[in-house]
Structure 1
Amino acid sequence: MLKVRVKAKDIRFSIPVPYSALNLVSLIITSKRINRLINKAIEKDGSSKFLFPEIERKDLKILLQGLSKHSGLILVETKLKDGTEVVVKL
């Protein structure tokens, strides 16, 4: 399970993200229809020449399997000058 912790001045909260939700998001991201919709939305703006790349489902599946094997690993740990902290942990 991916855990996102955010600490601000008087607000602290944690968001647990199960691997099943990550798998569902990977299915959506790798969909050709969704990819076309994203690229059309980017082209409508006209200011960006960036196109969302097509991602293979099998590549993301390997990544997600690797993430589940390394639980406890800290992916992101950020502390700002104003005291805000963000931690993303497996």
Structure 2
Amino acid sequence: MIKINIQTDNKRKFTIPVPYSFLRVFISLLSSKFLWRQANKWLNRQSEKTAAWPVSLDPSMIKHYLNPIIKELQHQKGLVLVDVKLQDGTKVTIKL
């Protein structure tokens, strides 16, 4: 599970847990053929106005590359991905 911690300057702390199953669902949606057909239609319409888009996007490639990454992240418990402190005192931490 990925944990997103947000702590504001006035000591309010929010923790958002994100299960790996949500990531898998997001990858499935991102790699759906319907979404990519719509994206290709939009890119083709935009390419008429600007330079042509060189390749058609392939949704199976996304799923093929992102699924092993998610599986490997499950084995790296405790790894801190992001640890940022902003000038206004807000601190954001993303941890596996």
Task: Determine if the TM-score, normalized by the shorter chain, exceeds 0.5.
Answer: yes
**1:60 matched residue in structure 2:** 66
Superposition deviation, residue 37 in structure 1: 3.0
Give the letter aligned to residue 86 of structure 1: V
Structural RMSD (CA): 2.6
**Where in structure 1 are there 5+ consecutive unaligned residues?**
none
3-state SS, counterpart of residue 61 of structure 1: helix
Superposition deviation, residue 31 in structure 1: 1.1
**2:7 matched residue in structure 1:** 7
TM-score, normalised to structure 2's length? 0.74
Map 1:3-82 to 2 at 5 A. Answer: 3-10=3-10, 11-38=12-39, 40=42, 43=46, 54-55=58-59, 56=61, 57-82=63-88
Query: What per-residue deviation string (whole Å, max 9, x for no partner) do you get for residues 13-64 of structure 1?
Result: 0100001111111100111211233452894xx79x99xx545212111010
Q: Which has the larger Rg?
A: 2
**Where in structure 2 are there 5+ consecutive unaligned residues?**
none
User: How much identity, in percent, do the aligned residues show?
Assistant: 33
1:85–1:20 CA distance, 2 compared to 1 (3 A):
same
The match for 2:91 among 78, 85, 89 is 85
TM-score, normalised to structure 1's length? 0.78
